[in-house]
Amino acid sequence: MKARLVLVGGGLQNALVALAILRKDPGADLLLLERERHLGGNHTWCFHASDLPPAIAPVLDDLVVRSWPAHSVAFRTLTRTLDTPYAAISSARLDSVLTSALRASSRRRLLLETRVVQSGSTWVVTADGARIDADRVLDARGPPATGGSAFQKFLGLELRLSSPWPRRLPSVMDARADQRDGFRFLYTLPFAADRILVEDTSYSEQPDLDVEGLRKGILAHVREQGSEVEQVLREERGVLPLPLAPFSPAVEPVLQGGYAGGWFHPTTGYSFPAAARLAALMAESWPDSPSRPSLLRLRGELTAQIRFFTRLNRLLFEACPPAERWKILERFYRLPAETIVRFYAMRTTRVDRARILLGRPPGRLAWRKALRVLADHRGVA
């Protein structure tokens, strides 16, 4: 078997690549391999409109399940609404849209329940021993195994309510919750008046999830807001390692996409900004593969941002007591809106980085450790 492009893994990264290429060339020769029975896993992906390259925005029209004109954050001494549009994609919608797109033509192929055991830049081998050749392979299989000393972890419940949710905008960070297990906040997406997703998220040194305790806490939070839960529709959970040392997205010898390939925001864990830029480059180059110089240029742009973000992670985890980490985030959300927007989009400028790092330090920041982290930051472009 042979295809011009083989995509390994049916998550967000390869969905963006496939749909971007098919929008440009409906006759594109694509093959996507996924080890599960469905695409997309069990996730809710969110993004700010400003996270996207212009070429990718139209690709998402059929994927978005809900969008909002703004979103809010809340801390003990700060509540703020940001007028940046925000949107959500569900695994179910991604599965439906991408499956239909890949089965609309004989040149678009989808193999489910197919596990890849080896991959190279132009070939893959499946668990049954079959070899598939390609002009280009993009391997985007899941996050790496949980390891390290810093994690973003969450439990989310999608809920049907018997009474309306009191707020119409997403709350992407409500840090008024008890600060246990590191920096902790609640994240709420109101899909409808009677349907919401609530996630309890922590930035912690421990990868363990107290699933039962988090479930009870989320349900109690909903009741405290004056709503009653009629039904738990769905549950999702995740433990993502947060890097404390710089890295570069993987482009050679094998092009790796998604979280495992380093195409993600090291501080927020968001996949969209980097994954969308890789998808835009691959669609722009089609029907050829992206050139090595263009891939290295994009990798260089993201590596400069990653170097800064991983130092922020060290500042958060190594130089600040866990119970006071929320103060760093509260100070961040007092910055100009354009700085916040570029931070999430992985497009910070020198001025943005200076604004984020400078100013009166919050809480009992461990000065010696903080100065060591900041000294490491010197020379970052």
pLDDT (tens digit, 9 = 90+) per residue, 74-122?
999 999 999 999 999 999 999 999 999 999 888 899 999 999 999 999 9
What's 26's DSSP letter?
A: T
Q: What is the pLDDT of residues 127-161, one digit of tens each?
A: 999 999 999 999 999 776 556 789 999 999 999 99
What are the sequence ranges of the domains in the chain? 2-68+84-144+244-300, 151-241, 307-377
Region 2-68+84-144+244-300: CATH code: 3.50.50.60
Instruction: Say how far apart CA 28 and CA 5 lie, in whole Å.
Output: 9
Residue 281 CB neighbours (<10 A): 20
Say if residue 85 is preceded by a cis peptide, omega within 30 of 0: no
Alpha-carbon distances, residue 354 vs 218, 259, 327, 350 (angstroms): 37, 27, 18, 6
Query: What integer pLDDT is reported at residue 143 of this predicted model?
Result: 72
Query: What integer pLDDT is reported at residue 118 of this predicted model?
Result: 95
Look over the chain and give the mean of its residue pLDDT values, rounded to a whole number: 93
- Crossing angle for the helix pair 272-285 and 292-318, nearest 10 degrees? 180
For the question of whether the overall pTM of this predicted structure is more than 0.85, the answer is yes
Query: Is 151-241 a domain of CATH 3.30.70.1990?
Result: yes
Query: What integer pLDDT is reported at residue 212 of this predicted model?
Result: 97
What's 359's DSSP letter?
A: S
